[in-house]
Amino acid sequence: MKKWVFLLVMLLPLGCEAIQQEPQAVNVEYSKAGDQVQEAAPQKKTQTKTQTIKVPKSQIYQGNLLLVNKQYPVSEEGVTADVVNLFQHKELAQGYVLLDKTIRLSQGVAQKFQTMVDAAAKEGVSRFMISSGYRDSQEQARLYKSMGADYALPAGYSEHNLGLSLDIGSTQTEMNRAPEGKWLQKNAWAYGFILRYPKDKTDITGIKYEPWHFRYVGLPHSAIMQEKNFTLEQYLDFLKEQKKVSATVEGKAYEVSYYPVSGNTSIPVPAGRSYELSGNNMDGVIVTLLP
């Protein structure tokens, strides 16, 4: 079986000096295939030149890691800018079925989903269907009015209002029994997706088990969450506590750091290294240094 290996390293918070030193840490190696967990040798201290980026407070409400629930609604700037109608973009809807012609989703997320279902098809799992994607506030309000609070959330308080979440079904049977559902629960993290509302975490998410509802957060976040059995709520709390986490996924090294933001904030990043920014929709931003 192909191995997916990543390292989780707890590090100290980043400083703001132009030259920084990495503290020693113990790497923990994890294999998706359930192989032996090994302790790696401590890393040597290195020096890294940094540059400073200016992060406005509005960044708190933008990005792939936004927490959306009954307490933290979607802001206007939180909606992804690349939402498209999948029926009108046939190139994004290959190898799976759309429930109807109105389904919309972030174009970038749709491309990631396409890659994922292509991989599943190679393993003989190919009866995927998208039954719901992005909903604007008017559509969410109509759904809430017709279905009620037991089955829907008010406009602005559903992840579907972001453009990053989708309800995935199977044309064979219910997702909790379908091969598609089982494949996703085992493999979705490798493509940046998470099962947003697990059966054993309803007390944390506040939402009943939904084996069909998946959310795109991207790598390495989905890998860390899979390894530590975290919901998005738990992961964001974990980042706030640890300040900095390093992860290596299939030999590619990432660094994830949390910074509190109350106004325009200066954040140091390694000079010349690519990075992604995401708010948490609460009180800060997450900087992800890419391979």
Token pair of 3 as six digits: 């191995």
Query: Taking a C-beta distance cutoff of 8 angstroms, is the pair 200, 229 a contact?
Result: no
Candidate list 29, 139, 210, 250, residue with the active-site label:
210
Sheet holding 244-249, edge to edge: 38-39, 28-31, 5-11, 244-249, 252-260, 284-289, 275-279
DSSP state, residue 140: H
Is 39 among the catalytic positions?
no
Q: What are phi and psi of 19, to 5 degrees?
A: -115, 125
Query: Taking a C-beta distance cutoff of 8 angstroms, is the pair 170, 128 a contact?
Result: yes
Token pair of 117 as six digits: 């279902």
Long-range contacts of 27-30 (CB under 8 A, 24+ apart): 29/5, 30/5, 30/6, 30/227
- List, by residue number, the catalytic residues: 210
